[in-house]
Structure 1
């Protein structure tokens, strides 16, 4: 059959072809509908506004359950028009189960043989068919956490807020007391709805009125709106600027001013008071006014030798905004006590720039420690003791008796106590101290890593009394053992590390073993990183802003020394810098009479 014959046949039989096509389509659709699994939702299924088409019924039910759990419940007390809270249903233990509800959606055989019925069959179930589930324990926990066992709700005083260019009332709300059991029962009767407006519950209370009522707040709003309806004049140096009233309103904070209980029967009543928020005002001043007032200070250059000033070139003073005085002036303007606010200023001294030099003496070392603490951020306790390398050994300290959080550095004290208790037989080497670690394992971990679990383990085995007594043997004067809150001083830690370095502590019992553990610690930040020639045995502690390091430095060119740094608000990098300065000072040659 050629193409002409085919075209002729198609023209004669096109209706037949169309009928066959639609017949196949209808038959295919019916077959698809007959075999469509009951375990899945129909393609166009929509329940409570949620599209569930093609999903397994179990997955669809879970999706609906989760969405209902995300719905919020507005909780009202008494006649309050504002909700006390609007937590999620799931947070309170209120839930739904849609499994049986969706299982009830049927697609019977008679509908399956109707072509295209899969697009519209399946009546959406009503919300009332849901199963409601209540976790009473969770409801109880929620109510007690929010209102306590006494079901007490604090009143909310009236206040003000800025709306466009006006201060408007935020109404007061009474508080009071409710029946906690009734509260819990009411929550256990809530039926979550897909309509958020229906998700609310009201709990009756014995009302207690707010201290500051709406009338008091309106009075203040009227006064402030009248005062700030025009821009505020503010003197800026020799000029007068203006600040829009709505900007000034944005600086205001409001607080209830409630007279003391002793005056409750007097004529003095609670009122709403305002104050100017310094931070918000400062943002505006820094952006719009400060540049007209600030004068950058100069630099004073000062040279020192040890503690003595050897030269000074004074720089010019500067000027900055005095925010406290400016704020007081703005408040005076708002209170109608002055017609113009003042952007007050104050003089500031020049920036100090020091050129420090030191003599290679104990006095020079003391000056280095004190001035390092002065010139760097943080608080320090510092101590230095020279052990060898020069004829007249030097030592110096700064703020060395001040207690600091030990931050784990007390591990050395506890290691000493454990060592002594083991040598007297109170602790055996096979005794388990922490987890599956014995005495030997924990002693090493304690000194090398300030291991907290081992520190706690030894402390529990020995007890506070024994630990404190062993500390007294070491000569600790400013140390208080209190777990994570243990404090110590630079002098205490420095004395102990120096004693181990001189082999004066636990000479027979194995004190040098602890020193070898300190040297085996490979964490060479802090003091260790500042030592370029030699090796370090150190005891460190770190917690939050506290960085502590006490080290024996075995220098290969200038002899050995002990350096101890306790600090709050410093860093390991700063401790490294101090070490480098001490190393540099020790490189200077000492005179025969230098000490």
Structure 2
């Protein structure tokens, strides 16, 4: 890999697991009257912590809704999605090769897998500055993550940005090949951290969670038996049981 350029933005902190409170009820028991925005506001209030939600149905009725979708949060490990996308673009442009050494004895192919599937920290912390954070943010902005950049406490984003990013991935509309889309989708499908959206869904979930300093996040493409949707839940002071419960509530509203 080329020598890293100076990092123009603060690097993300390494993640540490967040202790969880006792599990709440399996669902919020909020009834759905057809207004998805109001429903998301109600379920966000029914669970502990400060919670933002952004929802986009892919195909079907193309329903969308949000609550607090523009509220800014530290990304935690969700930023690794952006690094992974830009890395694929750099390889496809011939600027890098999957065989290039990335960190220690790992090549870029192994590092890509580790940072998405395992949520490894050293690999993206090496790759991000090498590609350049300004380029990574520009790549993300071009597919909808227009408010994601360095800020107070590290890289910051919002639920709407991550939902737009993941919707672009789900629909194959990112600026990379179909093989590139599949590489990122397959890595997300193999992600080992499944306590949030996957735990509450009846579908096949391609997700990237993040957790640091009380922030618990999850963003996902969900292939439910009745349809496909993208869901992002960003939270501070909540727990994985809440994120799973929100997912159950949303699937009940969407598909009965």
TM-score range, shorter-chain basis?
0.7 to 0.9
Q: Deviation string for 1:490-538 (max 9, x for gaps)?
A: 1111101111011111352612210111011133211101113x21100
What are the residue-to-residue correspondences of 1:195-594 with 2, within 5 Å? 356-359=30-33, 361=34, 363=35, 365-388=36-59, 390=60, 392-481=61-150, 485-508=154-177, 510-532=180-202, 534-556=203-225, 558-588=226-256
Deviation at 1:544, TM superposition (A): 2.0
> Equivalents in 1 of 2:87, 2:29: separation in Å?
48
> Equivalents in 2 of 1:473, 1:561: separation in Å?
21
Deviation at 1:481, TM superposition (A): 3.1
Q: Deviation string for 1:317-367 (max 9, x for gaps)?
A: xxxxxxxxxxxxxxxxxxxxxxxxxxxxxxxxxxxxx974212x3x2x212
| Structure 1: gaps (5+ residues) | 1-353, 589-595
> Equivalents in 2 of 1:585, 1:446: separation in Å?
33
User: Is the radius of gyration larger for structure 1 or structure 2?
Assistant: 1
| Structure 2: gaps (5+ residues) | 1-27
Q: Deviation string for 1:163-202 (max 9, x for gaps)?
A: xxxxxxxxxxxxxxxxxxxxxxxxxxxxxxxxxxxxxxxx
Deviation at 1:483, TM superposition (A): 10
Would the aligned equivalents of 1:433 and 1:458 in 2 still touch at CA under 8 Å?
Answer: yes
Would the aligned equivalents of 1:383 and 1:491 in 2 still touch at CA under 8 Å?
Answer: yes
Cα separation, partners in 2 of 1:415 and 1:484, compared to 1, 3 Å? farther
More relative contact order in 1 or in 2 (CA 8 Å, sep 6+)?
A: 2
Cα separation, partners in 2 of 1:477 and 1:506, compared to 1, 3 Å? closer
> Equivalents in 1 of 2:30, 2:85: separation in Å?
40
SS for the counterpart of 1:456 is helix
Give me the TM-score of the superposition, normalised by structure 2. Answer: 0.83
Cα separation, partners in 2 of 1:494 and 1:480, compared to 1, 3 Å? same
Cα separation, partners in 2 of 1:355 and 1:448, compared to 1, 3 Å? closer
Cα separation, partners in 2 of 1:550 and 1:404, compared to 1, 3 Å? same
Cα separation, partners in 2 of 1:370 and 1:466, compared to 1, 3 Å? same
> Equivalents in 2 of 1:373, 1:573: separation in Å?
13
Deviation at 1:482, TM superposition (A): 6.0
> Equivalents in 1 of 2:29, 2:218: separation in Å?
27
Give me the TM-score of the superposition, normalised by structure 1. Answer: 0.37
Measured on the aligned residues, the alpha-carbon RMSD in Å equals: 2.0
> Equivalents in 2 of 1:380, 1:421: separation in Å?
34
Would the aligned equivalents of 1:382 and 1:399 in 2 still touch at CA under 8 Å?
Answer: yes
> Equivalents in 1 of 2:87, 2:38: separation in Å?
38
> Equivalents in 2 of 1:356, 1:430: separation in Å?
51
